[in-house]
Structure 1
């Protein structure tokens, strides 16, 4: 979920408070199950700002527009409904999507699979996980026998383990195995430190065709370099899909293994990151520093084609 980040020139307490009021209003409207989405004019009137200023301040603080923030809340509500055992139709209604076609269009892209598949909650899977420490905090790497299915970053072990179990509520087993997953964890920690990958990591994740294109492109961005959402959209042959590229980055379930931290907003700003914008900046800085210390004795890679 998104949190205030305040990149660029420091925002005043009044500005941050105003953005907080706007976010709280959006949450309250969804909790009250009010009809229809919150319009920008309505939100601006509530906060006493012009729509233009509210949009600008909100995106600066949260990394997303008010509309994108509202959609993220709706998606989380939908996912919660699916994990609780509600059918797709019931979860659709409760989340306020309005129609199943809208769910498959919007939620499907963010889930990386159809809502029906997500509702299976990893049914029957045997999942092991390992936990390590880095300059970013704790790192949890989870895998099935087929490959890595989750990489999470955080500060609290209980929270990380809870998130893993919440994502796979119907798994046959979820058990810690630091020894068995040691090689996976070591490779992730190596990458977090800014070093170039030593080996490929097998992944066991679901993705849409669009996400496959985006994530494949992300994986070809050389360590220490970045691309804008718009540039990635052009690389995959869909120049008008910059916003969808950002959504695909946000849906990445395996931090670091798929380096979505190397994707920036079109204006060069850090942009959102599922594990926090400060971690994203730290990753980019670590990679740049490691690249400088190593020198560039290898030929430069490209991400084209």
Structure 2
């Protein structure tokens, strides 16, 4: 353990890792997360986890601390059912509190300091006709990300699986098939850094997002913006919040169609009792994001 402590101290002395470093780490992290997610009930040791990914225990500990700000043990605790239930414990009151500050203007809705606007229903029905969308690929703590932007703000954020950029772009194009897509990483890079570098999360420079969806979907996504960082909600609670208590299934569908992953935090929606239900970008990534957020709050 002394060797591990020395490695951690050396890393902390060098300062925070860049998004590119964290993106490279995620290739190993996702294998670790997948293993922990499968075996968490028996609380595997760090030695067992390290053996599974073919690394030393000290390397795994060091990598995880660099990536998440958490030890593997603390991360394991952060994805257990008990932790999920704790996240849900006061979600109703927290959602209400978020709504009290209003959902327009630069109010602090969550720790990304997001301000937003919605396209008109007519804009959505046109399936993006008349819109020019810039897109680019950028490193993130959760693997390579695709970022889509309009002149008015961030419109899309997704993730690349197994290096398949074409599939990631196709996922966005399916949402607004009549839009014009222009690859312009220089235009989307400021959004990527603003989203994935916590030191850029500033109240005096809110991130502007543009919500492009049906009226019902936009209502759901706005509600998700009210779920505080490090907390969670349920599909039924969101349905209650938007005044459609019997529409939990429709809410689930709208959550699955959220085009701005991570920023509009659909990963914070859990099933009843804290179950980690489906996520458009994969359950392993959902668990990774929740654990990464836990590291931003408390460490371990």
TM-score scaled by length of structure 2: 0.53
Structure 1 pair 280–113 and aligned structure 2 pair: CA distance change class (3 A): farther
How many residue pairs were aligned?
184
Aligned to 1:143: 149
Matched, 1:164 2:172: yes
Tell me if structure 2 keeps the 8 A contact 1:130–1:185. no
Matched, 1:238 2:244: yes
Instruction: Work out the CA distance in 2 between the residues paired with 1:113 and 1:247.
Output: 20
Aligned runs of 1:151-190 on 2, under 5 Å? Answer: 151-155=157-161, 156-172=164-180, 174-190=181-197
Shift of 1:196: 8.9
Tell me if structure 2 keeps the 8 A contact 1:201–1:257. no
Structure 1 pair 213–267 and aligned structure 2 pair: CA distance change class (3 A): same
Tell me if structure 2 keeps the 8 A contact 1:225–1:288. no
Shift of 1:144: 1.4
SS in 1 for 2:298: helix
SS in 2 for 1:129: strand
Instruction: Work out the CA distance in 1 between the residues paired with 2:123 and 2:206.
Output: 27
Tell me if structure 1 keeps the 8 A contact 2:212–2:218. no
Shift of 1:227: 1.1
Matched, 1:209 2:215: yes
Aligned runs of 1:269-280 on 2, under 5 Å? Answer: 269-280=275-286
Shift of 1:139: 0.5
Which 5+ residue runs of structure 2 have no aligned equivalent? 1-33, 41-118
Structure 1 pair 131–230 and aligned structure 2 pair: CA distance change class (3 A): same
SS in 1 for 2:187: coil
Structure 1 pair 186–228 and aligned structure 2 pair: CA distance change class (3 A): same
Tell me if structure 2 keeps the 8 A contact 1:121–1:168. yes
Aligned runs of 1:253-268 on 2, under 5 Å? Answer: 253-268=259-274
TM-score scaled by length of structure 1: 0.52
Instruction: Work out the CA distance in 1 between the residues paired with 2:212 and 2:253.
Output: 15
Shift of 1:249: 0.7
Tell me if structure 2 keeps the 8 A contact 1:152–1:254. yes
